[in-house]
């Protein structure tokens, strides 16, 4: 008995017998990834991209690229307490632009999700709702967001409302359509099983339609937040008084090119972060989905 | 009650109207009388079931064997209330499920279906899946249902897996959990649609043993669709062989091998004789089905 347990202990000495959780899990994954080429390739890719950018604008000063600020010029201004062209991480207006854009995105995304997800769920679930709403949705959807700009300015007062309307509209279509497809993708046997088990229609909606559509919904939301940024910037360029889109187009108008590039890169990072946040919320809500995918090695 | 032998339980089931020690209401006699079903896909009438009659005694394991796409599932769908029938009637314990004036049976927890590809809700843990029926039918509180779910899962040898999602356990385990999810509702009839189709022979044999054990415990009427002749004879009291589309009863074989059955029964002389008898009848239909070469209806 003692020998057996001792043997087990020796065998297990220094071995992990339970899976790490929380931060330890991320650390473990990070350590594991260092032994694969993945992180090095990522760093190399970024380096190559920056080098090309530098070479075109500052190294070789290729014709027409010489008017564009290169990485060194951008970085110098971006991280300078006294930026030559007015925008850096030390100036208040930089954060104001980010804040205004983020607030608009938050409102627009919340509105689009709040309307789009329930609408999509009902459209997927009920033939009748689908017949009412689908043709209108499909007609409005292909209209580019820029075509809505004049109407938005006519319909809404001030700077804020039209911009939010445009951002909402674009992501609303994406969210609704993905949610509807999500419901339609649910296997018929889940509905049948729920019926067999004595569910009311409302039970089926709560316990089959909503959770079953969730993976599609969150795929849709990730696309939709990207689309929201896309249309927000377009809207800010046309009608706006603050925000990253406004910063970009305003800098261009005033012939200061460095803030233009700073605005673009910031936009990329902020958009990426919001998309990651949506993914985190989705994974947290869909433990079952994450676990099933993890077992498939994804 | 739990110490009773199978024979005593059978006796109790036959004499006491309250059923066995599990508290299951006695019953589950299915009468399928002259049932026909004509599908109408794209304006072409397809007769899936034609004048099919069979009587299933309460507490019997009834196996339905026939070529693929012959209309067996149509019959099951009619009993479960997923589809309507065109002619004839189906009765459960002399109560009309569907028939003249009521083409489609209402879905109810007295007839539980176990689906071909499995229909445990992937977004609920095994225990949550099992507890679902009693909760939505408001027969138990959430706490009671979960307690019973864990208890029944433990009985089926899944005691440690109650908190796992279906995506995390093997197909054999999830299929067993699905049968538990059906049984917690104390159904009169268990409808199984080729539940072990996608399993390897080794898993299948374990599933058979577990189903036989479950049956000995509950004496629920089982309506089991299969292609596998060995499975049909090993599990069944009666094997109903049906013709190729349109489906109707061709031959009924009584399985006289005594219960409880073990894997040794498979090599007995009686088993081999029955196998030959069934094989002959099925092979004829299989050839016909192959020659017709029609695409299987889902």
- For residue B9, give the H/E element and its range: helix B6-15
Give the pLDDT of residue B6: 42
Stated pTM of the model: 0.79
The pLDDT value given to residue A262: 92
Arch. (CATH architecture) of B28-110+187-292:
3-Layer(aba) Sandwich (3.40)
Q: What is the pLDDT of residue B270?
A: 80
Please name the residue of chain B whose CA is at the shortest distance from the CA of residue A206: B136
pLDDT of residue A17: 72
Structural tokens at position B218 = 């509950």
A196 and B CB contact within 8 Å: yes
Q: What is the pLDDT of residue A10?
A: 60
pLDDT value at residue B4: 44
Q: Do B124 and A288 touch (CB under 8 A)?
A: yes
A19 part of contact set with chain B, CB < 8 Å: no
Residue A192 with chain B: CB contacts under 8 Å: 80, 82, 107, 113, 115, 119
For chain B, list residues with pLDDT below 70: 1-26, 41-43, 293-298
pLDDT at B174: 86
Using alpha carbons, select from A147, A189, A185 the residue that is nearest to residue A169. A147
Task: Write the ipTM.
Answer: 0.81
Residue in chain B nearest A188 by alpha carbon: B119
- Check whether A9 has a pLDDT greater than 70: no
The pLDDT tens digits of the residues spanning A232-281 come to 888 888 777 888 999 999 988 888 889 999 999 999 999 999 999 999 99
Percent of chain A's residues with pLDDT above 90? 43
pLDDT above 90 for A44: yes
Once rounded to an integer, what is the mean pLDDT over residues A95-103?
92
Judged against a pLDDT cut of 90, whether residue A119 lies above it is answered with yes
pLDDT at A297 (0 to 100): 64
Is a pLDDT exceeding 90 seen at residue A153?
no
Closest to B69 measured CA to CA, from B242, B291, B295, B290: B295
pLDDT of residue B11: 41
pLDDT for position A11: 60
Chain B residue at shortest CA distance from A201: B136
Question: Distance between CA A186 and CA B57 in Å, rounded?
Answer: 36
Kind of pairing between the strands at B95-98 and B87-92: antiparallel
Dihedral sign for Cα atoms in the order B15, B17, B21, B25: positive
Do A192 and B119 count as a contact with CB atoms less than 8 A apart?
A: yes
Percent over 70 (pLDDT), chain A: 94
Range of A31-45, A105-119, B81-95, B108-122 with top mean pLDDT: A105-119
A92-96, A201-205, B120-124, B233-237 — which is least confidently predicted? Answer: B233-237
Task: Give the domains, in start order, of chain A with CATH numbers.
Answer: 92-295 (1.10.3720.10)
**Separation in Å, CA A278 to CA A211, A221, A268, A292, B33:** 17, 7, 16, 20, 56
**Lowest-pLDDT range of A46-50, A61-65, A154-158:** A61-65
Instruction: Say if the Cβ atoms of A207 and B167 lie within 8 Å.
Output: no
The per-residue pLDDT of chain A, averaged, comes to 87
Checking if the pLDDT of A124 tops 50, the result is yes
A207 and B113 within 8 Å at the Cβ level: the answer is no
* 8 Å CB contact between B252 and B241: yes
In this predicted structure, the answer to whether residue A6 has a pLDDT above a threshold of 80 is: no
Give the dihedral of Cα atoms A120, A276, A234, A57; nearest 10 deg. -150
């Amino acid at each position: 008995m003692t020998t057996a347990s001792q043997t087990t202990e020796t065998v297990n000495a220094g071995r992990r017998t339970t899976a790490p959780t929380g931060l330890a899990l991320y650390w473990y994954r990070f350590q594991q990834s260092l032994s694969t080429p993945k992180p090095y390739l990522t760093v190399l890719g970024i380096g190559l991209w920056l080098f090309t950018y530098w070479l075109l604008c500052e190294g070789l000063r290729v014709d027409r690229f010489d008017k564009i600020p290169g990485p060194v010029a951008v970085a110098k201004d971006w991280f300078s307490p006294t930026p030559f062209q007015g925008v850096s991480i030390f100036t208040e207006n930089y954060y104001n632009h980010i804040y205004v854009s983020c607030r608009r995105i938050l409102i627009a995304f919340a509105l689009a999700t709040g309307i789009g997800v329930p609408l999509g769920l009902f459209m997927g679930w009920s033939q009748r709702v689908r017949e009412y709403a689908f043709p209108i949705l499909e007609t409005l959807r292909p209209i580019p967001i820029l075509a809505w700009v004049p109407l938005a300015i006519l319909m809404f007062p001030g700077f804020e409302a039209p911009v939010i309307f445009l951002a909402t509209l674009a992501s609303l279509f994406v969210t609704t359509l993905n949610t509807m497809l999500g419901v339609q993708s649910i296997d018929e046997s889940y509905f049948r099983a729920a019926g067999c088990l004595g569910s009311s229609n409302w039970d089926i909606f709560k316990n089959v339609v909503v959770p079953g559509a969730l993976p599609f919904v969150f795929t849709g939301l990730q696309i939709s937040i990207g689309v929201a940024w896309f249309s927000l910037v377009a809207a800010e360029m046309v009608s706006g008084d603050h925000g990253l889109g406004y910063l970009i187009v305003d800098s261009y108008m005033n012939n200061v090119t460095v803030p233009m590039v700073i605005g673009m890169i910031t936009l990329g990072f902020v958009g990426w972060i919001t998309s990651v946040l949506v993914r985190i919320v989705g994974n947290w809500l869909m433990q079952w989905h994450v676990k099933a995918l993890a077992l498939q090695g994804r | 009650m739990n110490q009773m032998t199978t024979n005593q339980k059978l006796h109790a089931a036959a004499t006491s109207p309250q059923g066995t020690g599990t508290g299951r209401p006695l019953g589950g006699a299915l009468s399928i009388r002259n049932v026909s079903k004509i599908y109408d896909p794209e304006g072409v009438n397809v007769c899936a079931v034609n004048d099919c009659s069979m009587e299933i005694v309460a507490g019997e394991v009834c196996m339905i064997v026939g070529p693929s796409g012959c209309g067996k599932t149509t019959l099951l769908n009619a009993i479960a209330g997923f589809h309507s029938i065109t002619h004839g009637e189906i009765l459960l314990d002399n109560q009309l499920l569907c028939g003249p004036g009521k083409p489609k049976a209402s879905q109810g927890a007295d007839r539980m279906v176990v689906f071909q590809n499995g229909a445990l809700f992937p977004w609920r843990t095994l225990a949550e899946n099992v507890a679902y029926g009693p909760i939505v039918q408001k027969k138990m509180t959430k706490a009671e249902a979960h307690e019973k779910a864990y208890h029944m899962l433990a009985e089926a040898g899944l005691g440690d897996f109650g908190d796992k999602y279906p995506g995390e356990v093997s197909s054999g385990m999830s299929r067993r959990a699905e049968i538990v999810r059906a049984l917690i509702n104390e159904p009169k009839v268990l409808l199984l649609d080729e539940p072990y189709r996608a399993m390897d022979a080794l898993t299948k044999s374990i599933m058979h043993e577990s189903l036989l054990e479950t049956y000995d415990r509950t004496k629920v009427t089982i309506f089991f669709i299969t292609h596998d002749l060995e499975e049909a004879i090993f599990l069944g009291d009666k094997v109903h062989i049906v013709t190729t589309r349109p489906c109707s009863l061709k031959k009924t074989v009584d399985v006289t091998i005594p219960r409880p059955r073990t894997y040794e029964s498979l090599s007995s002389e009686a088993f081999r004789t029955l196998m030959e008898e069934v094989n002959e009848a099925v092979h004829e239909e299989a050839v016909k089905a192959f020659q017709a070469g029609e695409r299987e209806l889902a």
